[in-house]
Amino acid sequence: METSTRKRSITVGLFVVIGILIFVVVILTIGSMKKVFSSNIVVKTIFNDVNGLKQGNNIWYSGVKIGTVKSIRFLSDSRVEVMLNIEEKSQEFVRKNAKAKVSTDGLIGNKIIVIYGGTQKVPSIEDGDELAVEKIESTEEMLAVLSENNKNLLGITSAFKTISGNILAGKGTVGMLLNDERLYNDVDQTLAALKKAAGNAQTLTASLSEYSGKLTKEGGLANDFATDTVIMRDLRGTIGKLNETVSSANVMVNNLKTASADLNSNTTSPLGVLLHDESTASNLKGTLKNLESSTEKLDENMQALRSNFLFRRYFKKKDKEAAKQPSNEAVKDTVNQ
């Protein structure tokens, strides 16, 4: 009897020990999954819409799980405050200027909080900090935008359909170009003329290039002007002399202007009197006429003297001397030679 009671007690004890061990293993497993026994800091974020986020959802940073959602509560202005449990060992990697957004774990997975961004120059987050959030468009908003885009695409398609119909009907410039053979021929001729003009322009360019090559050819006038320093020096000297000649001509013209002005202004000088005094000019004309008539009379008197027998011998002697003078000069020239 005592032996059976002892066996029963040992069996019960074994079952109790095994149950305790199983309980400890379960507790440790759950703790490792939920990070119950790890040290955490709490930061908060404020969203306008959490899109179905729940308490206990995971927090990811650079593809690594670093915590869970601690709590979710409404604020007075219809915004949602989300408290985040973040492991202390991951604290140093998350910066104060990092941002948080609501995302999904896969295409149809649970909602998660994704923390991203931040710069190394900014300190790490601390307990009680608030992370900035990025607004993510909801599925309904994306579907609304997609629906609007579909409507716009339908409108564009309808417009293209109308335009293509008008083109096929021969309406507009493009339609006429595609359907009117005469207009097509005109355009083709215009393009041919443009092609010919382009060819002429190319030929002209080649000719100009050849001409410029000849100008720069060594020995040519343009090349000598550009490279021969002697020619350029002589040219500069010639230009300098021309400038001096022009300056002298300017001085002479100025002197003539001054003399002309003096003649016009000074009426007491002989030339001024001749130019401006009519009576003096008339007297001068009369004097010249008298001299002319006196000269004629003097010629008549000389002819009369040559005919007079008293002077006839004298004039014959003078004529003989005049006739001998050329022969004497010819003899002198022969002697000198």
Q: Which of 84-88, 219-223, 325-329 has the highest mean pLDDT?
A: 84-88
d(CA 119, CA 52): 30
What is the rounded average pLDDT of the residues 50-78?
88
**Across the chain, what does the average pLDDT equal?**
76
Q: What is the pLDDT of residue 260?
A: 73
* Residue 248 pLDDT exceeds 80: yes
Q: What is the pLDDT of residue 139?
A: 63
DSSP state string for 189-218: HHHHHHHHHHHHHHHHHHHHHHHHHHHTST
Rounded Cα distance, 259 and 207, in Å: 58
Percent of the chain surpassing pLDDT 90: 8
- Given a cut of 60, whether residue 18 has pLDDT beyond it is yes
- Residues forming a β-bridge with 64: 61
Strand partners, 68: 58, 85
Instruction: Enumerate the domain spans of the chain.
Output: 34-136, 277-311
Q: Which two tokens stand for residue 77?
A: 């202005």
Provide the pLDDT confidence category of residue 207 given band limits of 50, 70 and 90.
Answer: confident
Helices (H), 169-180: 172-179
pLDDT at 66 over 80: yes
Taking alpha carbons only, the member of 66, 63, 8 closest to residue 39 is: 66
Helix/strand/coil for 45:
strand
Task: State yes or no: pLDDT of 272 exceeds 70.
Answer: no
Neighbour-count burial for 79-112, b at 16+ CB within 10 Å, e otherwise: ebebebbbbeebbebbbbebebbbbeeeeeeebb
Mean pLDDT of 33-58: 79
Question: Is 0.95 topped by the overall pTM?
Answer: no
- Of the ranges 27-36, 86-95, 157-166, 247-256, the best mean pLDDT one: 86-95
66-70, 124-128, 190-194, 209-213, range with the lowest pLDDT = 209-213
